[in-house]
Every structure is written in C-alpha cells, then in structure tokens.
Amino acid sequence: MDFSMWMISNYANTQSAILGLVVIVSCWALFRLQRRNADKLPPGPMGWPIVGNLLSLNSHVEELFAKWNKKYGPVCHLKFGSINFIILGSLEAVTEAFVKKGEVFNDRLHNTMPGFDSDSGIIFLSNGPRLKEQRRFGLSTLKMFGMGRKSLEPKILELCEDLCDELDPFAALREPVDVRPMICERISGVISQLVFDKNLPKHDDEFRTWTHVISNGTKYSGINMLTMFYPSLKIIPPFRWGAQETKRLELKGRRLLLKQIEEHKLTRDSKNPRDIIDCFMQEMADRESNATPDDHGFNDAQLLGMVRDLFLAGTETSSTTIYWAILFLCKYPEYQSRLYSEVDAVLHQRRPSLEDGNRLSYSKAVIQETLRMRPIAPMAVPHVANKDAEIMGYHIKKGSFVAPNLYRILHDEKLWSEPEKFDPSRHLDVEGKFVKHPSLIPFSIGPRQCLGMQLANMEVMLFLVSLVQRFSFEVPGVDEIDLRGKNEIVLRPHPYKVLIKRR
C-alpha cells in the first residue's frame, strides 16, 4: 500500500471512530433525557459517561451552580459518578426540602470526606434521635454559657481589646499586616472559653497553630471536595496526598483535644460545671447511673467529635466574615466612614454592647451585606435524602445529595437590586433602621441550621465595631485584589495586608 492509500485508509478509520463516538454519546444523552423525563427528575446540564458533570466544574462552583439554577430552575439535577446531586436555588425550594420535609432531607454523607466521619460530632451526624439529642444538648449548653446573652459579652470584649492592642504597633509604624491570623486566634479563643473554660490558643502555641490551619485550610482543601463524590480518588495522587494531609491534621487535633478532655476528667466538679466538656461529662455520668438503655451518643467518642466540630465551624465562620468585611470596607471607604460615624455617635468612647444592636443599624447592615455577598459556605454542607421524595414536583431518589445554593439565593436579581454590588443600605428602611430580608439565610434553615448562628452574630458585631471604633483600614492595591475570593468548600478572600491607622 502506498503512502497516499495509507493516509486515506487511516483518515477513514479516524472518521469512523469519531462518528461512532458521537453516536454513542448522543444515544447515551438521549437515553438520559428520556429517563429523566420518565422519572420526573429535575432538569440539569448533560454530563459525560462515568464522570457525569465533573468536567464542567471550575474553581468557582458557587457561580457555576448559580448559572445552572438560573438556566434550569430552582431544582437542578447534576451527576457526579453514581451520585445524584441536587442544587436548590430558591428560598421556596430550600424551605420545602429542609423545613417542610426536614425529616427526609436531613441525612449526611457517610465517611467520604478525608478527616471526617458521620459517627461522631454534629456536622456529619446523620438524622435520627441521636442527632436531635446532640443538637438539643449543644444548643442548650451554648446558651447556658452565654450564647446570645450578655453573660458572654465581657469575655468577647476582652478578646476584642486584646486584638486591638496587638494591632496598635502596626498602626504606629503604618506597617501593612495580614490580620487574619490575629482575628482567627481571638475567635477560637471565644470557642475555647466555652469549651475549655480558658483561652487555650493564647497559651498553647501548638493549639494556636492547629486552629490557624483549620481556619485557613490547606493547599488540598479544594481537591478534597471531589472525594465526596468519588471516594476511590483517595488512593490516587494528588487526592491521596490531600487525604493524608487531612488525616494528619485530624490526628493532631484529636491529640490536642484529648489532652484537654483528660484534664477535665481529673479536675471536674459535678456540682459546678465550668464549660461544655464538664456538662457533657455530667450528662454521660447521669445516663450511666440511671442505666439509660440508649445513651444517644453521650460517650467519649461523641464528646471528642462535638468539641472538634465546635472549633471547626465556630472559628471559620466568624473570622472569615470579619476578614471579608474589612476588605469590603477598604474597597468602599465611604461605607467605612459612615460606619465609623454611626459607631462614634452611638458609643462615643465606651465599649460596644449587645444592647447597642438596635442603634447600630448600619453596622448590622454592613455585616449582613458581607454575609450576602460572600456566604462562608455557599453550598452549606450537603444533605442526603433518606428515602425517595419530591421537591417542587420533581422526583428525588433516595441517597441523593441535596444542597442549598445559598450563593444563588443571595445573588438572585429578582430578590436583590444589582446583586453583585456591595451596598449595605439595601438592609435599611426609609428611616435608616435595619431590616432583615427573608431570603437572607447565610446559615441555611431548618433542623440543621448552623448551631452557633447566634454566637457568630455576637462575635462579628462586637469585633467589627471594636475594630472600627479604634482604627481605620486601608488595603494598598485593593482594586487589584480579586474580590471573588477562592472557594475551597469555604469561600475565603485571597490573603491581603492592611494598613491600619489609629482614629
């Protein structure tokens, strides 16, 4: 065969292969569409065989999912491997799933995220009596030690003052500084007071380093998310490296937390509980002495898991929100000036208080606009359907992951005028009073709403007002910073340094 005939033959073979592939993919897509229609599955973008919609994902899935909800509707179906993934892009859809049908869409994924499991703690615990008992205990105990109440205020304000004192030398030198580690340390100090009855991050360098890592994530945080949908990836680099790094951090955290738990066992006074650990141990003792047949998870493993979850969720949410707020205030200095004017008019020279909340309307508006623009967990933690059910008339199969698309809801142009614009005044009425929008749900809703929501609101308000009362902030080159941030399950700002000036 001469060269020309060889070329013609191979070209024909290549054409045949491409045509065959197109036919196969087209038939598969048609089959999926017919099956979707037959099963009343929600609409959504077509994916590829085996991998599904994986190849469409990018570094800002919150924006991509928002586009898909806008195109396909408030209940959108995706496929990741064998997993059905449902994204809910409206308040109505989220309310139906997580409030009206909360008992159905209330499970969690099982042992697929590196470093976490569904056997202990609260965040990844599946639905049932155990979860309800643990949430009841967690919420009542947090309130006992001051969440949402004035009794916790002095401890938070002490940490606010401590943060401002650390920033003072940078203000004097006009030296740019990354404030995130300092904020993280103080926020974790609040959690530490509630859990350990002491500010452990201030006195234990190893514990402080661990809290910084869990708050900032690692270089593997993004790829770890994929292992939720493809657990087998954990044996393949770089996913294996991410799983190993997360496991190492988990073991380090476990060792640090167990040390504190063991100290509590030796020093606990059953009549005078000092903190959450003491209360949990007392609950364990009471159930054991009463021979309760089902302890609903009141055991050592659950105690460790709960303490871990309190630090993971409590440190990240508040510290990242404050970090975002400072960046937005530097981007829009006119809003920073207005915020300071309100703080000065209401407080003068005294420290802020929770009782000032009703008079600090613009401060609350800035915080709420920050949470609207950049929700910390834009897809929250996915729920799992524990049986076949429907959402807005669409069939949802048992085992489907169901996630609230908080980013879409908080950027829906039908709900928010110019949703991509940072504008605190949208949260004020004509008299300048703060008004909470019904669709403003950065902590999600339903039985699995963030347990520490009230604590986060307390912390962010007192810390931000304390900072603005004492300093003004400026970020050199702020216009060059990508304000979209980076999504590694948690939506964080890119690191930046701020110039601080004493007011």
Q: Residue 20 — pLDDT band, cuts 50, 70, 90? A: low
Q: Residue 14 — pLDDT band, cuts 50, 70, 90? A: low
Query: Which two tokens mark 39?
Result: 């099963």
Q: Residue 338 above 90 pLDDT?
A: yes
Q: Do 473 and 330 meet the contact criterion of CB atoms below 8 Å apart?
A: yes
**Structure letter (DSSP) for residue 250:** H
pLDDT of residue 327: 98
pLDDT of residue 22: 54
Q: Residue 229 — pLDDT band, cuts 50, 70, 90? A: low
Q: Identify which of 197, 185, 183 has the alpha carbon closest to the alpha carbon of residue 155.
A: 197
Place of tokens 């491997």: 81
* Per-residue buried b or exposed e for 104-135, using 16+ beta carbons within 10 Å of the residue's own CB: bbbbbbeebbbbbbbebbbbbbbbeebbebbb
User: Which of helix, strand or coil describes residue 394?
Assistant: strand
> How far, in Å, CA of 462 to CA of 468, rounded?
10
pLDDT of residue 312: 82
pTM: 0.89
- DSSP assignment of 197-212 equals SS-HHHH-HHHHHHHH
Q: C-alpha dihedral over 259, 265, 267, 272, to 10 degrees?
A: 120
Report the Cα 27 to chain-centroid distance in Å.
Answer: 40
pLDDT of 266-292, one tens digit each? 999 999 999 999 999 999 998 888 766
Q: Identify which of 326, 367, 276, 371 has the alpha carbon closest to the alpha carbon of residue 472.
A: 326
Return mean pLDDT, the chain.
Answer: 87
Average the pLDDT over each of 300-314, 394-408, 417-431 and give the range with the smallest value: 300-314
pLDDT of residue 2: 55
Query: Which two tokens mark 461?
Result: 């308000």
Domains recognised in the chain with CATH numbers: 25-118+377-409 (3.30.43.20), 123-375+423-503 (1.10.630.10)
Q: Which has more pLDDT, 378 or 249?
A: 378
User: Which of helix, strand or coil describes residue 461?
Assistant: helix
> How far, in Å, CA of 39 to CA of 394, rounded?
9
